[in-house]
Structure 1
Amino acid sequence: MASTSPPRKTSLDAVLSISTGHPLGKPNTSFTGKDDDALPQPPTASAVEEPTAVPTGFQSESVDGDVPSTTLPPSPQVTAMEVCPAAAQVTTSSTITSPVNTTPPATASTVPAAAAPSPALALTTTVDVPSANKGKQVQSSPMAIELSAGSDSERTASDEIIRWRHGLELDQVSILDRIEDQKNMTRLIQLMAESSDLVLKVVKNSSAKDTLLERIAPLAEIADQVQEELAILRNEVAGYRNIRNEFKDKLRDFLGHDPALFEAKKQAEEQVQKLQAELTQLKDKNEELTKAKDSTEKKLAHSITLNVKSHEQANYYKDKLETLSKKHEDLKKKAANELSTMKAKHNEVFMKIKAELEEARRMNAELCQAAEPILDNLHAATAESNTSSLQSVVERLQSAPSKLKK
């Protein structure tokens, strides 16, 4: 945390206790915002707050503008005020949770020790002092509860840590709702990642389909050309056969024994055999092209089937994502309402404690004022300083019986 960040707000949780064993002086603190009532800074000179270790199941998350996140408020911070003999001292005890894997120091924060205990009657007041920046936006690192995928013992430890941080009076249902929100957010992120993978698969299948279509188009054109050439060759072969038959008939009718005619017949038969060999080669080539075309069509049909299935899965996960998003928004609204209710309740407690503190101060002042004439008569030498502090008043009142006996 940078030293220029604004001070953290103090929590509204406070405890007013009256006990004995610590000497107190005349109250000198108030809520007027003067220098003597200002809250002290944390122990470090650069206002860096020391982190504490975070147990298993907790970690710090930064909140982005587009990604929702459910966070819990920081642990309650209590400001302890003790009235000392010389002057009132105000100390702040705060605990700030840092991200996981942060090595904690021996203690998160220290509170200055009060005066030495005395057997005399003493009044100790612990109260929550409002921050000087109350009402302003305070930048702080929120702590989020990330559900651990560990064993049941780890989840039980997480529940005990939640009770330790938030007290036994906090509504446990609200904490479980926040944990459920975190579960839903984790599942939502997983579904978004799966949807992205499916979209990539669809794009990849579409690209493969386009590539197959590009390869099939030239093959289909070549097959059409070969079929046309084959039809032409068949017609030519049929024509040659007709010519040969006519030629044979003419030879029988007119020149049945001419050697030149026999030579021409032999050449014609050789030419017919060559044409038949070429026709056989063209048939084999046509069969190969037909097989390649059938294989390509099968691959194309398979790619289309995969593409349809990918689209169906994408639509299913899209609907599921919308449902979870709606449920998440409802949970966020519910958490906001509960937080507002808790804040109002804490404000009421704070105002009550503040009123009790003012009453205690008033009674303290009345006690000192009532004891001043008695102490001035008994201790004339120190008439002006008899009521300088509550401790001196108590000590002089305890010595009053011995003075009266004399």
Structure 2
Amino acid sequence: MASIRPEGLVLQRDDHRGQAVLGFGLESVAYLGGDEGRRALDEVAALPLTPATLVADIASARTRFGDRAGVLVETVRLRRKAADKLPGTAGWLFTDEALQQATAGAVAAHRARRLAGRPVHDATCSVGTELAALADHASYVVGSDLDPVRLAMARHNLATDGRGVPLLRADALRPVTRDTVVLLDPARRSGGRRTFDPRAYAPPLDAVLDTYAGRDVAVKCAPGVDFNAVRDLGFDGEIEITSYGGSVREACLWSAGLAPAGVTRRASLLDRAEELTDADPDDCAVGPAGRWIVDPDGAVVRAGLVRHYAARHGLWQLDPDIAYLSGDRLPDGVRGFEVLEQVSYQEKRLRQALAAHDAGALEILVRGVDADPDALRRRLRPRGSAAVSVVITRLGAGTASRATAFICRPSR
């Protein structure tokens, strides 16, 4: 049951949580996509809509557009949020949740390139982010979703870009295509909280794998998904971890038919246009720190490909169980930490060493040691003028293990 609120938004009942949530209605989407709505959006887009002016701006919009003010202001604000995440979507329509869930443009384009030349059905297409990327690479694209409002937005968005993609309303667990690669992006929140159990996704991952058994599928997952839990559900394909903009963005499951033979894990570093897989060489030594320490990209660490990364770039591990690497040459384009001094990790000893290096601005990286970087920084109270990084880690095993701090100069 839904009722139109004065702002033009819709108050809907979420059957899964029994809570009321706000969202756009079909009538609002039709208005925003029409000539009148577009002219109104242009006027509202001229307002600052900053935290300091928002109340006054909404009042102004309400005076001018009455009950339409809510959807107009919300749409303009969402478009501004989307500008960096989704370049080229200036005239698109979003809901707040759909924008939060949308795949970053560069990540969607990367996935679409992997599916180049294949017919693809995006069975959870939402407002069309993945469809727009797929339309540039796949041989044929169709989209479906259960949410009629998001489908209406997708139809508007793809038409804005001049893409004629067929869209239909369908349940992702009731297949409506044959001989296509099926792309799915299950919701990963339950009761308003993020879930890391793939069986608690919507639709659940186990149900997805059962429904599309024998089909080529690509399933977007949270980057923190438990690899063992996925394997326990019977998935035997490739798990790809993708990073972009300095952070890990997602995991994607590629069924065996979409993965190269022998590849079960992949790290894709879009900022560096670099990929590694568990089929790459992993001959990597363990030794004391050289000139540089390297903290590998999060996708490399998450995919369990630290040794493979080290072997490719001529690095070695400081400890076989720790992800920090070292080398005498820094790989091109990689941020590293030039070792100035190595000390036993004791706060008094570390404070003295930092003072000797005139440490001021202090970056602290920790692996394998129970230490809170922010709390430690406050206790160390650096007062110098030099920008210094401290890499804290545990070296060795058993009774021979020791917590060690490396005082370093960051490369940038």
Bigger helix share:
1
Q: With the length of structure 1 as denominator, give the TM-score of the two structures.
A: 0.16
- Looking at CA atoms only, which structure, 1 or 2, has the larger radius of gyration? 1
Structure number with greater CO (CA < 8 Å, separation at least 6) is 1
